[in-house]
A and B are shown apart, each in its own frame.
Chain A
Amino acid sequence: MTYMAPTAREIVDRGTSIYEKKYRAEYEGKWRGRFAAIDIDSEKAYVADYPEEALTIAKATEPHGIYYIVRIGSSAAFRSSRLTTHAIRRGI
């Protein structure tokens, strides 16, 4: 049996759903601007000031987790001034 790693889009969609359902209301009231790494399997979330810190904490607990990174209170974890829609067309 072959293991198919989830795509970025699948991780983001699953992570967003978990965030909306379990964490958004609480986190946006007290941790706006910080970062959360959400394990898309266990649905546990790990919060830190920066994304690399959140991932380090998360992977110390669950090294094999697959994580969705969210900036609390923002629709995107990162911003880039570069313009490209190529990734969207390819369904990444």
Chain B
Amino acid sequence: MLFVGAFDQDGNATVRVRINGAGGSVDYTAIVDTGFTGFIALPMAEIVPLKLTTNPAAANIMLGNGEIIANLVAEATATFGDQTKDVSIVLDETSNDNLVGTAFLRAFNLAFVFIDTVTVLVDKETALEIVAKWMEAAPPGLPNITPGVHDE
């Protein structure tokens, strides 16, 4: 199954994901951020429409420059396609971006495909089929080359 994403005005790959809190469900356009190991990060203000728990949790987050900051973490569920999963939401006071990270891809069993003109999320079975087909054609021991197109 393919889930077609879109590019935002800054060229980020985005997908639509539904977050379900005590206050109801809200659909978000979220940047697919493979540099973020969490599930989803939302601006702190989203705690209001979603009515997220008032007994929060918190965790350290290591930024790209090695600095560590503390962020609140809330619980909710996320719906993507026909699946709904428990999620930990990092509530970010420093950004207005909505992010889905590698935990999102892992939990929903998705592969992330990013090309110049299109971005899609592919279910695990389809992705493994494609990879297996590629591996059959790939020359052994030569990574990062196009099958059939390499120096002798």
Contacts and interface: CB of A to CB of B under 8 A. Distances in A.
Interface of A: 5, 7-9, 11-13, 15-16, 37, 50-53, 55-56, 59, 63-70, 75-88, 90, 92
Interface residues on B, range: 35 or more
A52 B95 contact: no
A5 to B, nearest CB: 7
A41 B20 CA distance: 28
B64 A87 contact: no
Contact of A87 (B54, B88, B93, B97): B93
Contacts, number: 140
A78 B57 contact: no
B69 A5 contact: no
A80 B41 contact: yes
A7 B75 CA distance: 17
A83 B57 contact: no
B57 A80 contact: no
Looking at A7, A59, A81, which has the most chain B CB atoms within 10 Å of its CB?
A: A81
B123 interface: no
Interface in B91-138: 93-95, 97, 99, 101, 103, 107
B55 A37 contact: no
Contacts of A13: 70
Contacts of B55: 63-66
B62 interface: yes
Contact of A11 (B54, B61, B69, B70): B70
B143 to A, nearest CB: 23
B25 interface: no
B75 A52 contact: yes
B59 A70 contact: yes
Contact of B88 (A12, A55, A81, A86): A55
Interface in B53-73: 54-65, 67-73
Looking at A8, A15, A53, which has the most chain B CB atoms within 10 Å of its CB?
A: A8
Nearest to B86: A52
Contacts of A51: 38-39, 59, 73, 88, 103
Contact of A88 (B38, B41, B67, B97): B67
